[in-house]
Structure 1
């Protein structure tokens, strides 16, 4: 069983104080259940296909859903990210995540209210993220796939730490966005009349946020959205980001 654990006691100790207090009945082993949740999200399994070593699959699923609705995984990411010391430079970007038909079928027409939109690539959700200078995510925001990057930027900016630089691609080249930043490194759009120069040497670091998206999409239930509820899906992304970048858990074969 030990080879199936994704979290060791050191990892668990860093985040355990953020777990809800158990009720009158003793709670099933946190380390075992969390490892089961991570295993399902990483490998894109159905919940019923979780290995029996993690306990009943209903327990694993119910724990994930209940804690997601309580915002536990979002708080874990926020607290660990607040302990980072590489926020002198921030990077912002967005990526599309493919939506499986089970996430947008039934209920509300075409996924309205579920943060699912139609693009040239089909039905998608869009993940907006801000990372620190090392490419570690510190803020996440989810919208429908056909929503502009500016919407995510407006939502994320108020909660960001003070930074010396903000790196973004030309999709964020808007006067209102530039005015709200102390120092920015954003290439100008091709149709801008007055080209604004940017520091190309500083801009080279922006590949780190692209690498972050790539690593997140290695987790199959992140790369493809199966969850109808956007809160549940965003919690899966937050948990993946926590494990990969803030707890630095080694990926199991």
Structure 2
């Protein structure tokens, strides 16, 4: 999956360069401070940026998911949740006032203002074993429920043989932030069962309407206890210091770093 140049100077070994990328997101050091054993820092950065723009890490993540799915190793009891990441001052200089410096990204580069200052929100869908299936980046002030549908539509596990990629979970677990009539209707249209607690104000509105309020949504407390798995997945991802604080200026580079860390989480379990 790694693109290779046909001609040019002798190429630094791919394993050496990728190890440098892993070291960078594990420790959170700047590119210029990479140890010499990984080769020239500019070579490591240039390849990382090229792989990010071409979606190499995303395709690699899908391939390892496909191998696990073929072996029956994916638990399709999917959990979704979000976490907020503070942006470093180096990530804030994206040229937003004068226009985006990267035409492949939105103008906001998934950076926004929230209670924590300049932040990015990571929306994550993981399987029942706590391994990432899909990732979506937004600005820190975006509400969770608004991004639930595009996040679920990013789940795409290819088949190793013939057949369409699997995109539909068996069951979805989420917290109260995702409690909305629109999301529940979307899940019903896709024949996806779900366990989402109802908010107190929604309960009151439904009861006040009497018969017109309809029946309360089905909620299984035993199934909901498994929602802690997605929290543990976030803990593992934030074990990478380059992800716990965002240093990347563009959303493409930061999402590629999250995908690379997700690949490492999958590699530990297969």
TM bucket, shorter chain: 0.7 to 0.9
Report if aligned partners of 2:145, 2:178 keep a CA contact under 8 Å in 1. yes
Which of 180, 184, 190 does residue 200 from structure 2 map onto? Answer: 190
Summarize deviations over 1:171-230 as a string: whole Å, max 9, x none.
110112112222100111121134534111111111111011111111111011111111
* 1:11 match: none
Summarize deviations over 1:16-60 as a string: whole Å, max 9, x none.
xx1113322453201111001100110010111111111111111
Structure 1 residues 76, 89: closer, same or farther in 2, change over 3 A?
same
Q: 1:55 aligned to 2:75?
A: no
Q: 1:131 aligned to 2:154?
A: no
CA drift at 1:106: 5.4
TM-score of the pair, normalised by structure 1: 0.86
RMSD: 1.9
Show structure 2 runs of 5+ residues with no match.
101-106, 156-166, 207-215
Report if aligned partners of 1:92, 1:168 keep a CA contact under 8 Å in 2. yes
Report matched runs for 1:1-253 at 5 Å.
Answer: 18-25=1-8, 26-84=10-68, 85-105=73-93, 107-109=95-97, 112-160=107-155, 161-181=167-187, 182-193=192-203, 194=206, 195-243=216-264, 245-248=265-268
Report if aligned partners of 2:91, 2:249 keep a CA contact under 8 Å in 1. yes
Report if aligned partners of 1:65, 1:232 keep a CA contact under 8 Å in 2. yes
- Of the two structures, which has the highest relative contact order with CA contacts closer than 8 Å and spacing of 6 or more? 2
Show structure 1 runs of 5+ residues with no match.
1-17
Count of matched residue positions in the alignment of Structure 1 and Structure 2 = 231
CA distance in 1, matches of 2:65, 2:242: 22
SS of the aligned residue for 1:184 comes to strand
Summarize deviations over 1:77-121 as a string: whole Å, max 9, x none.
122223333243111111111101111135113995211111111
Report if aligned partners of 2:94, 2:249 keep a CA contact under 8 Å in 1. no
SS of the aligned residue for 2:169 comes to coil
Of the structure 1 ranges 108-117 and 131-140, higher mean CA displacement relative to structure 2 is found in: 108-117
CA distance in 2, matches of 1:127, 1:87: 22
CA distance in 1, matches of 2:238, 2:125: 16
TM-score of the pair, normalised by structure 2: 0.80
Q: Give the structure with higher Rg (CA).
A: 2
